[in-house]
Amino acid sequence: MRGETIKNRFLKLVLLPVIVLFGYMPAFAQSSQFSIEAGANIEAGAKVFRLCMSCHMVGDKAKNRTGPILNDLFGRPAASVKDYKRYSDAMIRAGAGGLVWDLDHINWYIENPKSLVSGTRMIFKGVKDPIDRSNLIEYLRQFSDNPANIVEAEPTILATDPDVHPSILAIVGDPAYGEYLSGECVTCHQIDGEVDGIPSIIGWNEEDFVIALQAYKTEHRTHEVMIMTARRLSDEEIAALATYFKTLGD
């Protein structure tokens, strides 16, 4: 790639960045990271897909049913299947906001759909086992033939487990503190629950609320105003808000 005579300094300037660019050495993988096994099992994946079959189709004869077809899923923006008419407003917003079904986000969504798109219509508790998910994703990949989608071209290490750590979910929120913090929220998210272009957050289940804000904090969701807002909230503050907004729905 470069000339035969490479001086040491040149090595550091050129070769090292090139290594970094081509991604991540599995030897340095942390225990919480997840990777698609090289021998991920398409057959096993087909079995996992039975959980999805009641709503989704793949393959030659696939049609939109309760859920959109999953052919050509990899790399397409959320809510982009033209003939599918039943996307939730939340999914449409997510797609408009930049959500694309890349490997990272497919994995995130299949594990717990509501953690990525709170208002999704896909009522599915998720595939919790990472091996099952890995197999399922391998299975689905067969039906996306766009070379740009083929994951080998990108780093194959997925992001940290999208489930919010149980210790975070266990934090008990102080509703009085939540009420004070809510001042920042209610200019956009109206306190009487009215929706004029911004979703309502009144009365949400606390766990869903925390998962949503944590997803913005880690930038797994892409809305810039929400990322900025969530990034400066501590885990305690998020819990306080969750408790407060839940009480408003009572």
Partner 1 sequence: MKMNRRGFLGAGIATAATLSAPMGIAASTNPKVVVIGGGAGGATAARYIAKDSKGAIDVILIEPTKTYYTCFFSNLYIGGFRDYASIGHSYGKLASKYGINVVHDWAIGVDKEAKTVSLAGGASIPYDALVISPGIDFVEGAVAGWDLTSQNAMPHAYKAGSQTQLLKAQIEAMPDGGTFAMVAPPNPYRCPPGPYERVSMAASLLKKINPSAKILIVDPKAKFSKQGLFEEAWSKYYDGMIERVGPDFGGDKVEVRPDAMEVVIDGEVEKVDVCNVIPAQKAGKIADLAGVTDGNWAPVSAHDMRSKLDANIYVLGDSSQQGDMPKSGFSANSQAKVCAMAVRASLIGSAAFPAKFSNTCWSLVETDDGIKVGATYEATDEKIAKVDGFVSKTGEDAALRKQNYEDSVGWYAGIASDMFG
Binding site residues, partner 1, CB under 8 A: 93, 95-98, 176-177, 180-181, 183-184, 186-192, 194-198, 224-225, 227-229, 231-232
Give the residue with the Cβ less far from partner 1, 166 or 197: 197
Give the residue with the Cβ less far from partner 1, 64 or 222: 222
In angstroms, how far is the first alpha carbon of the chain from the final one? 65
For the chain, list the strands marked E by DSSP.
34-35, 157-158
Q: Which residue has the tokens 């904090």?
A: 217
Tally helices (H) and strands (E) across the chain.
Answer: 12, 2
By C-alpha distance, which of 8, 37, 17 is closest to 158?
A: 37
Give the residue with the Cβ less far from partner 1, 135 or 214: 214
Least separation in angstroms between CB 92 and partner 1: 9
Give the residue with the Cβ less far from partner 1, 44 or 100: 100
Give the residue with the Cβ less far from partner 1, 140 or 171: 171
What is the rounded distance in angstroms from the CA atom of residue 22 to the CA atom of residue 24? Answer: 7
What is the rounded distance in angstroms from the CA atom of residue 42 to the CA atom of residue 122? Answer: 24
Least separation in angstroms between CB 32 and partner 1: 26
Least separation in angstroms between CB 197 and partner 1: 3
Least separation in angstroms between CB 216 and partner 1: 12
Least separation in angstroms between CB 122 and partner 1: 21
Give the residue with the Cβ less far from partner 1, 12 or 231: 231
Residue pair 197/152 in contact (Cβ under 8 Å)? The answer is no
Least separation in angstroms between CB 190 and partner 1: 5
Q: Which residues contact 44 (CB under 8 A, 6 or more apart)?
A: 132, 135
CA-to-CA dists, residue 66 to 53, 57, 85, 126, 136, angstroms: 10, 10, 10, 17, 19
Least separation in angstroms between CB 167 and partner 1: 24
Give the residue with the Cβ less far from partner 1, 152 or 192: 192
Long-range contacts of 122-131 (CB under 8 A, 24+ apart): 122/55, 122/67, 124/51, 124/52, 127/48, 127/51, 130/34, 130/161, 131/37
Measured in whole angstroms, the distance separating CA 80 from the mean position of its chain's CA atoms is 17
